[in-house]
């Protein structure tokens, strides 16, 4: 069993007198900076001289260059993984550097001096702020990558608590575990679900059911989304009671009918690309070339034709449906 951490496990005194530098002021950086400050910490923001710095200043922060973050006691690096290695940060040997994703640590793309830790909210950036303001917090993955000072865990947990990441509990993970799990959801689970959905659509079309009705059942009605919300809020057993007896019988009696399909073998092959670092190397090369393959894939799977079909259906169904009204 892994370890779990809660607010009572963190002492904000571990950060007494320490300056916290937030690098980046975007999707994660702004919510973190605001939450840290509201928790009573001394926070500065370090970004390029662009509109994000202007926003930080407007929000009342001392904002400066990225290089200046290296003088802080705690450095929270909250920019996309691809950009982290090129920052040129040089923390002191007694400083703590925190990342919000294990990727750069797991695949040796980032190795600053001093303590290194991960605080990875299982929540989109804007929701990090909203959940903090609502007092509900969010679930977080936390882990110490290197403890050079003997204070890494105490300081890491204090930061996690300060952003609201211990209110619902934090699960202990290494950066490698977090990165592999995150990438596996994207590269194993997402493709196989897409494959299943595609085959489901084809079978329904063979029965003469309109494509619009099928995609509405799968996505646009919101029913699947709400079912997953019930799974999160109440668990599988409790949410099952919200389905009719016929639905329950159909779901449970047909389990196992796809067990002959060897999905696991392909998943193991794909995850080997992740754990070996081959995917990280592949993405580095792709990004360095200007991401031409990504552009091709987006055109193939998310191009203008698909956008037009989606826009048409969304205009006919849901909150945007119906005739326009004058104002």
- The CA distance from 237 to 78, in Å, is 38
Give the pairing type, strands 115-121 and 140-146: antiparallel
Provide the β-strand partners of residue 23. Answer: 46, 77
Instruction: Give 86-139 pLDDT, tens digit per residue.
Output: 999 999 999 999 999 999 999 999 999 999 999 999 998 899 999 999 999 999
Alpha helices in the chain (DSSP H): 29-38, 51-58, 103-106, 125-134, 152-162, 175-184, 190-206, 211-215, 223-234, 236-240, 245-253, 263-275, 278-288, 292-302, 304-316
Instruction: Give 12-25 pLDDT, tens digit per residue.
Output: 999 999 999 999 99
With pLDDT > 70 as the criterion, what percentage of the chain qualifies? Answer: 98
- The CA distance from 112 to 208, in Å, is 60
Q: What is the mean pLDDT of the chain?
A: 92
- SS3 assignment for 127-191: HHHHHHHHCCCCCEEEEEEECCCCCHHHHHHHHHHHCCCCCCCEEECCHHHHHHHHHHHHHHHHH
- The two tokens of residue 246 are 């016929």
Instruction: Give 126-169 pLDDT, tens digit per residue.
Output: 999 999 999 999 999 999 999 999 999 999 999 999 999 999 99
Residue 120, phi then psi, degrees to nearest 5: -115, 95
CB within 8 Å of 230: residues ≥ 6 apart: 238, 239, 242
314-325: average pLDDT: 67
Distance of CA 45 to CAs 20, 94, 111, 177, 247, Å?
9, 20, 21, 29, 53
What's the pLDDT at 226?
79
Between residues 300 and 39, the one the model is more confident about:
39
307-318: average pLDDT: 80
Pick from 103, 101, 41: nearest CA to 72: 41
Three-state SS at 116: strand
Q: How confident is the model at residue 320 (pLDDT cuts 50, 70, 90)?
A: low
Residue 318 above 80 pLDDT?
Answer: no
Between residues 235 and 4, the one the model is more confident about:
4
What's the pLDDT at 322?
57
- The CA distance from 186 to 81, in Å, is 15
What's the pLDDT at 105?
97
Q: How confident is the model at residue 323 (pLDDT cuts 50, 70, 90)?
A: low
What's the pLDDT at 314?
77
What's the pLDDT at 60?
96
- The CA distance from 46 to 43, in Å, is 10
What's the pLDDT at 321?
66
With pLDDT > 90 as the criterion, what percentage of the chain qualifies? Answer: 76
What's the pLDDT at 326?
46
240-247: average pLDDT: 86
189-218: average pLDDT: 92
Residue 170, phi then psi, degrees to nearest 5: -125, 140
């Amino acid at each position: 069993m892994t370890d779990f951490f809660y607010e009572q496990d963190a002492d904000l005194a571990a950060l007494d007198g320490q300056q916290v530098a937030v690098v980046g002021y975007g999707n994660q950086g702004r919510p973190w900076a605001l939450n840290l400050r509201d928790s009573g910490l001394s926070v500065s923001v370090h970004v390029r001289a662009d509109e994000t710095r202007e926003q930080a200043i407007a929000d009342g922060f001392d904002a400066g260059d990225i290089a200046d973050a290296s003088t802080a006691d705690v450095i929270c690096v909250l920019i996309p993984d691809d950009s982290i290695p090129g920052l040129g940060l040089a923390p002191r040997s007694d400083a703590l550097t925190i990342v919000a994703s294990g990727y750069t640590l797991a695949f040796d793309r980032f190795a600053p001096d001093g303590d290194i830790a991960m605080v990875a909210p299982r929540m989109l950036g804007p929701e990090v702020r909203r959940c903090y303001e609502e007092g509900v917090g969010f679930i977080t993955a936390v882990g110490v990558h290197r403890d050079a000072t003997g204070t890494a865990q105490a300081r890491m947990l204090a930061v996690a608590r300060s952003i609201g990441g211990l209110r619902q509990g934090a699960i202990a993970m290494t950066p490698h575990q977090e990165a592999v799990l995150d990438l596996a959801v994207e590269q194993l689970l997402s493709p196989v679900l897409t494959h299943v959905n595609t085959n489901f659509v084809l079978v329904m079309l063979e029965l003469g059911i309109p494509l619009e009705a099928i995609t509405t059942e799968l996505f646009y009605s919101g029913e699947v989304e709400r079912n997953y919300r019930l799974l999160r809020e109440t668990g599988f057993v409790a949410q099952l009671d919200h389905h009719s007896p016929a639905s329950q019988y159909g779901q449970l009696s047909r389990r196992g009918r796809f067990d002959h399909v060897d999905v696991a073998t392909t998943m193991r092959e794909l995850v080997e690309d992740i754990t070996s670092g081959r995917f990280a190397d592949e993405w580095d090369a792709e990004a360095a070339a200007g991401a031409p393959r990504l552009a091709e894939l987006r055109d193939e799977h998310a191009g203008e034709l698909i956008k037009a079909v989606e826009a048409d259906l969304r205009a006919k169904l849901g909150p945007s449906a119906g005739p326009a009204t004058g104002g």
